[in-house]
Amino acid sequence: MKICCLVKEVPDAAVQKRIDAGTKRLDRSGERTLNPFDTHGIEAAMQIREGGAVAVDEIVAVTMGPDTAVRALHKSVALGADRSLHLSDPALSGSDVCATGYALAKALETEQPDLVLLGQQSDDGECYTIGAVVADHLKMPSLTQVIKMDVSEGKLVCQRQAEYGYDTVEIALPAVISVGDAINEPRYPSLKAIMGAKKKPLDTKGTGDVGIDPSQVGEAGSKTQVLGINPPPPKQSGEIIEDEDTNETVEKIVAWLEERKLI
């Protein structure tokens, strides 16, 4: 079995995020790191390998991003991936979710994975959708927010977090699974793994190498366009109930909750 883990380089959580007013894109000039959500995908791949239910031949970290994204790949390898694939091309700059998903799918086609894993969201764009777009292009089934996976030959039984509980779904491989952060606790890369990461194979590929149609990617190839950026509306101040008579207060709270059908 070959597992590909989609990973992304994102601004470090400690960096104050800022939108560049000119480009209307996230200012990525500060310290960057591997998207923490994707570390759960890599850990999930490692646990499948170590679980022994199926033989995992290879775990490949795949990213699309500028030169600096190599660090995210190194970290992915330090966390357990065997090698990495870096899709990097100026033509890809400015791609929206659809274009990025298409480009990643083309890169994945060259790998022919049995399973694609990724974090449920990125720490910057937070679209939650890239897995589904990739799956659509690859014509593979897809699940999101998976928090438990049992793998056996040719299929997966997954538990996914739903609004009112958990869905248990059987899914045929190959498939694209985006995992929730409750699925596991990613391990820390050892010093040895960190030091060895730069020695593991890393392929850099451009759009032409993986058969990407240049008209489908980049800013021009994106189907969405950012027209304006506004801060979210300020949070409305809540209703304060003064506690004069506790029985009355409880009644008021219960009435408030019932009114909103919360109890």
| C-alpha pair distances (Å), 133 with each of 77, 97, 207 | 25, 8, 18
- Asked if 29 interacts with other proteins (CB under 8 A), we say no
- Asked if 194 interacts with other proteins (CB under 8 A), we say yes
Binding track over 76-95 against other proteins, x by CB under 8 A:
--x-----------------
37-67: burial string, b at 16+ Cβ within 10 Å, e else: bbbbbbbbbbebbeeeebebebbbbbbbbee
**Closer residue to other proteins, CB minimum distance, 36 or 141:** 36
**Closer residue to other proteins, CB minimum distance, 73 or 177:** 73
Tally of helices (H runs) and strands (E runs) in the chain = 7, 13
User: If binding means CB under 8 A, how many residues of this protein chain bind other proteins?
Assistant: 14
- Asked if 71 interacts with other proteins (CB under 8 A), we say yes
Window contacting other proteins (CB under 8 A); options: 43-51, 138-146, 173-181, 184-192: 184-192
Window contacting other proteins (CB under 8 A); options: 72-80, 87-95, 231-239, 248-256: 72-80
Nearest Cα neighbor of 76 from 19, 36, 23, 32 is: 36
Q: Measured between alpha carbons, how far is 120 from 103 in angstroms, rounded to an integer?
A: 18
Binding track over 30-59 against other proteins, x by CB under 8 A:
---x--------------------------
Window contacting other proteins (CB under 8 A); options: 47-55, 73-81, 123-131, 233-241: 73-81
- Asked if 106 interacts with other proteins (CB under 8 A), we say no
Burial class (CB in 10 A: 0-12, 13-18, 19+), 139: exposed
Nearest Cα neighbor of 73 from 184, 218, 210, 194 is: 194
- Asked if 69 interacts with other proteins (CB under 8 A), we say no
Nearest Cα neighbor of 10 from 118, 146, 138 is: 118
Q: Which residues bind other proteins (CB under 8 A)?
A: 33, 71, 74-75, 78, 188-192, 194-195, 197-198
